[in-house]
Amino acid sequence: LKLLLRGCKMKKEILKLIPFLLCIVILLIIRHYLILEMPVFAYIDYISDDELMVEQAYNIKNGNWLGRYGYNTLLKGPVFPIYLALLSILKMPYLLTTTAIFALACCLFIYSIKDIVKNKIVLLIIFALTLFNPIMYSIDFQRVYRNSLVPSLALMIISFLNLVLLNRNKDKLWKYVLGIVGASLVLPFFYYLREDSIWIIPIFIFYAIIVAINIVSKSIKKHEIKLNDV
């Protein structure tokens, strides 16, 4: 009977999720549809910006790393040229792929906060506001330039840190581990995307302090319980 009741509860939860997931899919389709006619800008006369990114991506694709050494070879991080080179090798469209990465970051964000925002309608509103963020329709998004990846990677880092913070005291450790591994993998890409990416470090410190305080308080409580037992 217990197994049957559990099975019924699981089915009810899945049925409740279907309308929510359907709305998510519809919003994602609309989001991608809105950028189908958007043009791509590459300012070739921006020698140390767009032109540099494209040239370095071309060199990476051809196995020449960042190309001939010059005054601006190491001026910018290599993450975005590597991204462009991969898109070229895999024959993937720039705007659609960048939008898909941002959409993935939005999905990860609502997944990371679903345990504290349990109302599906509120969660759906947060997702819509995040997904249709005006910054992703700006000229920086349409340019073949590194700024288009900043919102996606920043949102991914915050989402993974949310998983670490909100699952630190739970029995299922896989979400906690997923948050740590995910944040550790995304951080280097974000850090070497722009030279001013150090601003993300205080966010890491904030989350680390909260988790550290929690660990210390738990160890103190355990120590007090042992002393009381003695």
How many beta carbons lie within 10 A of that of residue 228, not counting itself? 7
- List the one residue out of 203, 86, 101, 221 whose CA is nearest residue 153: 101
CA angle 56, 61, 65 (to 5 degrees): 55
Q: Name residues whose C-beta falls within 8 Å of residue 96's C-beta, 6 or more positions apart in sequence.
A: 32, 35
> Taking residues 99-120, what's their average pLDDT?
93
- Res 22 pLDDT > 90: yes
Spatial distance between the Cα atoms of 151 and 126, rounded to a whole number of angstroms: 16
Q: Could you give the 3-state DSSP secondary structure of residue 190?
A: helix
Q: Could you give the 3-state DSSP secondary structure of residue 117?
A: coil
Q: DSSP assignment of 97-165, as one string?
A: HHHHHHHHHHHHHHHHHTTT---HHHHHHHHHHHHT-GGGGSHHHHBSSGGGGHHHHHHHHHHHHHHHH
Model pLDDT, residue 80 = 93
Band the pLDDT of 226: cuts 50, 70, 90: low
Model pLDDT, residue 229 = 57
Model pLDDT, residue 215 = 79
Higher pLDDT, 183 or 17: 183
Q: Which residues of 114-139 are buried (b: 16+ CB within 10 A; e: fewer)?
A: eeeeeeeeebbebbbebbeeeebeee
Least confident interval from 26-30, 72-76, 92-96: 72-76
Model pLDDT, residue 19 = 87
Model pLDDT, residue 5 = 47
pTM score of the predicted model:
0.85
Show the tokens assigned to 168. Answer: 């630190």
Spatial distance between the Cα atoms of 110 and 179, rounded to a whole number of angstroms: 14
How many beta carbons lie within 10 A of that of residue 54, not counting itself? 20
Higher pLDDT, 40 or 82: 82
> Taking residues 70-98, what's their average pLDDT?
90
Q: Which residue has the tokens 């330039």?
A: 145
> Taking residues 130-148, what's their average pLDDT?
85
Spatial distance between the Cα atoms of 224 and 226, rounded to a whole number of angstroms: 5
